[in-house]
């Protein structure tokens, strides 16, 4: 079996590397396009399963990742699986014209994976991380969005954590907050 992909010229350059160290200037229209795109994607249906970091995302992977980095008496069961890009970071979006590219990992994933992934790649720029959380608030407030926040934090804080990663402390603080929220309720 052969596979062919059709490609087109991107409308602008990528925002930056996967993890940013300085804030990009993004107009409100850019954020509106991001939100519309992620919401439209989540409304679709597919049998494909997402492969973030080339690993097929399963309930088992979510639980193992979270439990490998955090303890706590809370359930890690994902309730809602929706289509996701599954590799959303600043190297895979363009600006000032919004475009989302690099789709080889897309498929069903827990609700909030894309939002949490973009937030995690923003943590070295606190104002940008806050803007991602504000724009995608619905995802982050959902139980599955909280689990995905822990899932992405587990990649930053887990066994392969780099001691000089500027995202360590903000990820640690957020993980503590989310664990408290999950335990409370």
What is d(CA 163, CA 179) in angstroms, rounded to the nearest whole number? 22
What is d(CA 43, CA 45) in angstroms, rounded to the nearest whole number? 7
Contact assessment for residue 172 and residue 133, using Cβ atoms and an 8 Å cutoff: no
**Count of CA atoms in the C-beta half-sphere (13 A) of 169:** 5
Residues 6+ away with beta carbon under 8 Å from 114: 38, 41, 84, 85, 86, 88, 139
Is pTM beyond 0.85 here?
yes
> Does an H or E element contain 108, and which?
strand 107-110
CATH code: domain 28-184 is 3.90.1200
The tens place of each residue's pLDDT in the chain, 185 residues long, gives 666 565 678 999 999 999 999 999 999 999 999 999 999 999 999 999 999 999 999 999 999 999 999 987 899 999 999 999 999 999 999 999 999 999 999 999 999 999 999 999 999 999 999 999 999 999 999 999 999 999 999 999 998 899 999 999 999 999 999 999 999 97
Look at residue 3 in the predicted model and tell me its pLDDT: 61
Residue corresponding to tokens 């600043």: 90
Phi first, then psi: what are they for 94, rounded to 5°? -110, 160
- Return the domain boundaries, the chain: 28-184
Determine if residue 62 is left, alpha or beta; phi over 0 gives left, psi from -120 to 50 gives alpha, anything else beta: alpha
């Amino acid at each position: 079996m052969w596979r062919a992909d059709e490609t087109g010229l991107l409308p602008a350059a990528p925002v930056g590397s996967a993890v940013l160290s300085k804030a990009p200037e993004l107009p409100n229209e850019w954020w509106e396009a991001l939100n519309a795109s992620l919401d439209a994607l989540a409304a679709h249906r597919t049998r494909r399963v997402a492969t973030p970091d080339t690993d097929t995302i399963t309930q088992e992977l979510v639980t193992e990742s979270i439990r490998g980095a955090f303890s706590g008496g809370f359930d890690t069961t994902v309730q809602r699986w929706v289509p996701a890009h599954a590799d959303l970071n600043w190297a895979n979006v363009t600006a000032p014209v919004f475009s989302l590219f690099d789709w080889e990992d897309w498929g069903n994933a827990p609700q909030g994976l894309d939002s949490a992934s973009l937030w995690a790649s923003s943590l070295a720029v606190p104002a940008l991380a806050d803007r991602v959380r504000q724009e995608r608030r619905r995802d982050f407030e959902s139980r599955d969005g909280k689990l995905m926040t822990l899932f992405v934090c587990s990649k930053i804080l887990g066994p392969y954590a780099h001691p000089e990663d500027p995202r360590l402390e903000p990820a640690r603080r957020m993980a503590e907050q989310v664990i408290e929220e999950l335990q409370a309720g």
